Structure 1
Amino acid sequence: MILDLGPLAFDEGAHLLVRRALRDLPPGAELAVTGADPALVVHLSAWCRTHGHRARPAEEHGVRAWVVRGRADLDRWSGAERAGGPHPDGIVPTASPRWGLAARGALVESGGPEAPFDLVDRDLVWADVAPALYRHAASAQWDPERTVDWDAEFALPDEIERAVVQVMTYLVENEQAALVVPARLLSRIHPQFREVMQLLAVQAADEARHVEVFSRRALLTGGELGTSSAGGRASLTTLLAETDFSMASFLLSVLGEGTFLTLLEFLEQHAPDPVTRRVTGLARRDEARHVAFGVAHLHHLGTLDPGLRPRLRAAVERRHETLLDTAGLNQDVFDALVVLAAGAWTPDAIARGWRAVQALQSAMDDGRQRRLVHLGFPADEAAELSRLHTRNFM
């Protein structure tokens, strides 16, 4: 076989043609190389030494050199393995730390450092709906600057505006916890399960956007932010302390964010101005995806692990015991919700607002129970666990 490089020099890419010509030759086979570059033989010899081949001078007319095919580049891939298949149906049950950051489905050369991912078992993070949820999440991203009319004209009584600000302050605090949890979890997931990583990355981006819009609404009229209770922060800190992926998903997404879906719907319904209505409505759509993944993941795992539900129950009870001596929901937040639902300061209006908040808490409880029953808990146990959920809502 003769390879004619023409005027192409090695510093112009000639090695690509040599490597391509050698690719299908067996070890020990020879390749005749010719070309017009004066330094061809020198550069070819140096390249061969680097890549495990051998070059020898040519005596035949028209041939500049012979290349003897070596084994080095073959040996380099002798221990290589595929990192699963490229599509979700090719995901392996347990990912190898040796694959590191290699693309799923890539041929991975042996050697190299092992990656520090500790979530390497598919069923511990997976849900079949994850790829579809990620595609939906990626297409549903919204720009706060363009999607919210921050210049909308409205004027609220001072007491109503203070109630909005207090609720927004509370939402920011909770959304910051909801940002940190998925961000910490996704860094532990093996890239073999990239759809889950991508979904959690978008979830973190959602929460970052919620923090922005709730903060911006709170400061829209130039006032100061509201209060942050010690009990509320203690409740959220328990979410940060949970290291188990499934337990964290359960406490945050299924119970916490599931409860927040009802709260955001309440706020959208009782919003006293168009900006508050818009930002709570947009956030609610995002949160619905977060809850959907958490429920789907735990439902998937529950079909495989009969010990899951006792562990979920233990997580709820453990958190309840930790927070037993805390005050629960910030009283300022509770009162602000009453004021927003009342819309006025007459006794009848306040009574109406109070009843609306009681109905809100009942609806939150109903939603938690439905999700718990969906995960396989008997109705009476679901009711008990819902009752033990933190009084801080999240």
Structure 2
Amino acid sequence: MTDHLLDLENLGFERGAHILLQQALKTLDPGEELVVHGTDPALRVHVEAWCRRSGHRISQRLDPGAGEPARIVRGQADLDRWAGAQRAGGAAVEGIVSSPPTDWGLAARGALVEGGGPKTPFDITDRDLVWAEIAPALYAHAASAQWDPNTAVDWNADFVLPSEIEQAVVQVMTYLVENEQAALVIPAKLLARIHPHFREVLQLLAVQAADEARHMEVFTRRALLRGKEMGTSSASGRESLATLLTEAEFSMASFLLSVLGEGSFLNLLEFLDRHAPDPVTRQVTRLARRDEARHVAFGVAHLQHQAEKDPSVRSRMRAAVERRYAALVDTAGLNQDVFDSLVILAAGDWTPAAIANGYDAVQKLQSEMDDGRQRRLVHLGFPADEAADLSALHTRNFM
């Protein structure tokens, strides 16, 4: 029988000899011998330790000084190491499994996963609880649509506003920051709970959190652009946002935040774009609106996917809206300072007629928010009358 030979020359284990040894043994069947030569003084000790650890047997010990090779009998143990391994689905979207086991942990999707790994804390492990077919495409779009606050906004634009108008802008920006902070915390909390096997959803939520962080930055910078202090924050406004943070179920949190809240927020950002008194306010609201439209699209697509799989999800949506309404029914709703500031921005002047027009514009905004919520609810399968009822129960704080 012809010997299988490997000459390591002066290569030691501290410089990678095990890689060549491992590669040579892979070509043998269990029970076959590999003859190993080498001149590194420590090679004998290292070869023997490696063989014991790897499940191979030495039939002749290496003696580099005497020129005697080692004879290594290919073992079965290193094959057995992967005998019970599982393939973690497939790397492509088509390879997603519906309920990945928790001991797959942080293994890359599609990897061969060795058994015996640690359990992980991810409690959202059902594909249909997080998935939307549009998720991969939305992530790709989100990744390509990122913008730099320093260059996307002309912070040096030349404009001067009357003090009262500037203060109205500051108040609205303060309100926007408050809402965007909630919109950042919620996907960040959910991220830590979702099994990484659904990586496209993780990626999308991570970008969504990054979007909100960027919105917080530009709204804050606009508020402070002319040296004013931030505006007011009402207890009822914060209480409204706090109810979003306590929603434990992924789908219901997504429903309340993205479908209802951020959906209404889109109308508000469009309103601010239309009535912005200066170019910087217009730029920051327009940029944020593009991002928010993506967040709403994922929320609607995810809830639509889940409703198709489980029609009873609509009853949970209704319950979530009613539960939030009951928690907020005795609160004051939208901060009066915010409402008045929106009227002032829409008015554009201090005459009674202008203020009346501004007030009517804010009333129209609220009507547009209601119409938008109803359309999205109908899209999710609610009858028109039920959609109208649920929309009417939505928080008066917009988000």
TM-based fold match above 0.5: yes
Residue number among 192, 203, 206 corresponding to 1:201 in the alignment: 206
**Are 1:234 and 2:254 matched, yes or no?**
no
CA–CA distance in structure 2, aligned partners of residues 341 and 226 of structure 1: 18
CA–CA distance in structure 1, aligned partners of residues 61 and 94 of structure 2: 52
Residue number among 305, 318, 326 corresponding to 1:321 in the alignment: 326
Alignment partner, residue 360 of structure 2: 355
Alignment partner, residue 152 of structure 1: 157
Specify the SS of the correspondent of 2:80: helix
Residue number among 38, 42, 48 corresponding to 1:45 in the alignment: 48
CA–CA distance in structure 1, aligned partners of residues 42 and 363 of structure 2: 87
Once the two structures are TM-superposed, the CA of residue 28 in structure 1 deviates from its matched residue by 1.6
CA–CA distance in structure 2, aligned partners of residues 95 and 202 of structure 1: 24
**Are 1:84 and 2:89 matched, yes or no?**
yes
Alignment partner, residue 182 of structure 1: 187
Letter of the aligned partner of 1:33 in structure 2? V
CA–CA distance in structure 2, aligned partners of residues 185 and 109 of structure 1: 27
Bigger Cα displacement from structure 2, 5-14 vs 129-138 = 5-14
Once the two structures are TM-superposed, the CA of residue 271 in structure 1 deviates from its matched residue by 0.2
Q: Per-residue displacement from partner, 1:249-299 (whole Å, max 9, x unpaired)?
A: 000000000000000000011000011000000000000000000000000
Once the two structures are TM-superposed, the CA of residue 151 in structure 1 deviates from its matched residue by 1.1
Q: Per-residue displacement from partner, 1:52-106 (whole Å, max 9, x unpaired)?
A: 21223279x9761110112221222222111111111100010110101111111
- Using the size of structure 1 for normalisation, the TM-score is 0.97
**Are 1:2 and 2:18 matched, yes or no?**
no
**Are 1:308 and 2:337 matched, yes or no?**
no
Once the two structures are TM-superposed, the CA of residue 379 in structure 1 deviates from its matched residue by 0.6
**Are 1:168 and 2:173 matched, yes or no?**
yes
How many percent of aligned residue pairs carry the same amino acid? 73
Residue number among 5, 15, 24 corresponding to 1:21 in the alignment: 24
Bigger Cα displacement from structure 2, 150-159 vs 117-126 = 150-159
Computed over aligned residues only, the root mean square deviation of the Cα atoms, in angstroms, reads 1.5
- Using the size of structure 2 for normalisation, the TM-score is 0.96
CA–CA distance in structure 1, aligned partners of residues 137 and 369 of structure 2: 27
CA–CA distance in structure 1, aligned partners of residues 324 and 47 of structure 2: 69
- Give the aligned length: 394
CA–CA distance in structure 2, aligned partners of residues 41 and 315 of structure 1: 69
Once the two structures are TM-superposed, the CA of residue 46 in structure 1 deviates from its matched residue by 2.4
Letter of the aligned partner of 1:6 in structure 2? E
CA–CA distance in structure 2, aligned partners of residues 355 and 302 of structure 1: 37
Q: Which runs of 5+ in 1 are unaligned?
A: none
Aligned ranges 1:199-278 → 2 under 5 Å = 199-278=204-283
Residue number among 279, 285, 300 corresponding to 2:284 in the alignment: 279
CA–CA distance in structure 1, aligned partners of residues 192 and 42 of structure 2: 50
